[in-house]
Amino acid sequence: MSTINISEDLRNLLYSIPDIDVKSLLESYQKPIRQSIRINTLKAREEYVLSMLRERSIELKKIPWARYGYWVVNDVNVSNTLEHMLGLIYIQGAVSMAPVEVLSPKPGELVLDLCAAPGSKTTQIAQALQGEGVIVANDVNIKRIRALSSNVQRCGVINCIITQVDGRKFPLWAKGFFDKVLVDAPCTSLGIVSKDWSAAKKWSFRTSERLSKLQLSLAISGFECLKVGGIMIYATCTLSPQENEWVIDRLLANKPNARLENIRLEGLKINKGLLEWQHNKYNPELERCVRVYPYEHEAEGFFIAKIVKEGDS
Amino acid sequence: MIVDEKIVLLNSSKKSAFQAMLKRCYDAEDFSDKVLIQVGEGKIRLTTNDTIRVAEKMQGVHSLGLYVAKVKGNDVVLSIEGSQLLCNRIKKNRIELTKEQSKLWMEGAPLQLEKFITARYVVAFYKDLCLGCGRVSVDGKIYPHVPKWRRLQQ
């Protein structure tokens, strides 16, 4: 078995984060992520799809924190099945389902997915809306929009608008417009290294710092698009505090009417957000954010923050 | 900004004409109370009034709603999703497939017809599932309209 190469910067980063078990993390990077699916109830009843999959001898185990999520227990390729091609199931990482579960969209709501491609979370939001309300799914990159568009079509979503703009500009026409916003920001992807080892090999503090500025702009933009009382989820699939806690700390400093809420998801092992990193102290509220490490569920690593917009101060 | 100028809401006369075509081709009723829009050449998408209202406020709209059908001359070619939405309301020009045939269909392979069909398009069913339209050829085969990105690999 070949061994993963990690950059010197990444090694330094990992040893600087107090609650990471670096040995377990590096081992997890060398194993494939457990396959998991979401049953798409926009297309068919959950029980019906489950019975079809059972007929194919696909063994499933419920993911406790995701309403329609299942681990695929046996070694089968679910991507080459009728159920996948018809949109009855969506192949989605188990922890990647968590941000939308925390966002908890309700039928009738207006939801913005600011960095939407390739659409796993967009289609999950659409499923929660049950055809009522509207989802605006935005991405800046046309190639990624094509993938988003295909997935939205395959999942049978009728109430989605796909836009292609720089997410930082959204408040110019949508300030205070949405009930819920998801900012699943582009990141250095340290939570999904087992899918792409190059993320670990190339990782640098410089790239992370550069991305964090974009992430902060996107988080501010998403927050400005919220109605008073609205909820925003900021999520990344990386472990770097610069792209996670630092971004939320700056958002709280920038927006006095932003407040963090606690996150609870059944069965999901979580670690609290960091309050200090590399001699920088963060807002004590950051404890309410959650970090999920790849070795905890043989799944992706994620950072999730739940932010509520209070009345303008 | 106004939604992409190529997107046109079907007015009542165009909607009636489309409904009549659906009725003639598949003996199917219309897509419930949802809004139909036309994009590009004959492509019909389905959405909701709320979605249209929100789209009018947005910038850089790439697309909205769900692609359900394409009008080709006097025929209506349903997308997989279009056929799934109509599903049991399709009473005419429907063919029932076996498990093996459904697999071939989703691979995009032509199926040999067992009986003569005069229609140019049929909708395939496997159990309770609709698999979209296929074109009936003069050689007595049906060529499934399954986009390449949705085909099963052999």
Would you call the peptide bond into A118 cis, given omega within 30 degrees of 0 as the criterion? Answer: yes
**Average pLDDT, rounded, for chain B:** 91
ipTM above 0.90, yes or no: yes
For A250-277, the pLDDT digits (tens) are 999 999 999 999 999 999 999 999 999 9
Instruction: Say yes or no to pLDDT of B2 above 50.
Output: no
Catalytic residue status for A237: yes
> At B105, is the secondary structure helix, strand, or coil?
helix
For residues A45-62, give the mean pLDDT: 97
**pLDDT band at residue A42, thresholds of 50, 70 and 90?**
very high
Is the pLDDT confidence value at A43 over 80?
Answer: yes
Q: What is the pLDDT of residues A129-143, one digit of tens each?
A: 999 999 999 999 999
Two structure tokens written together for A53: 């999959």
Closest by CA to A194, choosing from A66, A93, A307, A107, is A93
pLDDT at residue B85 is higher than 70: yes
A270-283 confidence digits (pLDDT tens) = 999 999 999 999 99
| Residues of chain A contacting B66 with CB distance shorter than 8 Å | 152-153, 156-158
Q: pTM above the 0.90 mark?
A: yes
Q: Do B81 and A156 touch (CB under 8 A)?
A: yes
CA dist A313 to A172, A175, A257, A289, A309, Å? 20, 16, 6, 23, 10
Query: A145-194 pLDDT, tens per residue?
Result: 999 999 999 999 999 999 999 999 999 999 999 999 999 999 999 999 99
For helices A205-224 and A245-254, the axis angle rounded to 10 degrees is 40
Q: CB atoms < 10 A from the CB of B83, how many?
A: 25
B135 beta partners: B121, B143
Average pLDDT value for chain A: 96
Single out the residue of A160, A169, A105, A277 nearest to residue B50, CA to CA: A160
User: What gap in Å lies between CA B64 and CA B49, rounded to an integer?
Assistant: 11
Could you tell me the domains of chain A?
A: 8-25+95-309 (3.40.50.150), 34-92 (3.30.70.1170)
- Using DSSP's 3-state secondary structure scheme, residue B13 falls into helix
Least confident of A12-21, B2-11, B36-45: B2-11
Whole-number pLDDT of residue A164: 98
**Confidence band for B116, pLDDT divided at 50, 70 and 90:** confident
Cα–Cα nearest to A212, from A238, A178, A231: A238
The burial of A75, by beta-carbon neighbours within 10 Å (0-12 exposed, 13-18 middle, 19 or more buried), is given as exposed
Instruction: Closest CB to A161: pick one of B61, B79, B153.
Output: B61
CB of B117 closer than 8 Å to CB of B109: no
Residue A67 — pLDDT band, cuts 50, 70, 90?
A: very high
Confidence of residue B3 (pLDDT cuts 50, 70, 90): very low
Question: How far apart are alpha carbons A130 and A38 in whole angstroms?
Answer: 15
- Give the rounded percent of residues in chain A with a pLDDT score beyond 70: 99
- Is the sign of the CA dihedral A42, A120, B51, A127 positive or negative? positive
The runs of H, that is alpha helices, within A70-110 are 82-85, 98-103
Domains of chain B: residue spans and CATH: 7-150 (3.10.450.720)
Average pLDDT for residues B109-136, to the nearest whole number? Answer: 93
Taking an 8 Å cut-off on Cβ atoms, the answer to whether B65 and A160 are in contact is: yes
Residue A312 has pLDDT above 90, yes or no: no
pLDDT given at position B34: 84
CB A82 to CB B65 under 8 A?
Answer: no
Tokens of residue B51, six digits: 């979605």
Among all chains, which residue has been given the structure tokens 């659906």? B22
Chain B hits for A138, Cβ within 8 Å: 60
Q: Mean pLDDT, to the nearest integer, of B86-92? A: 92
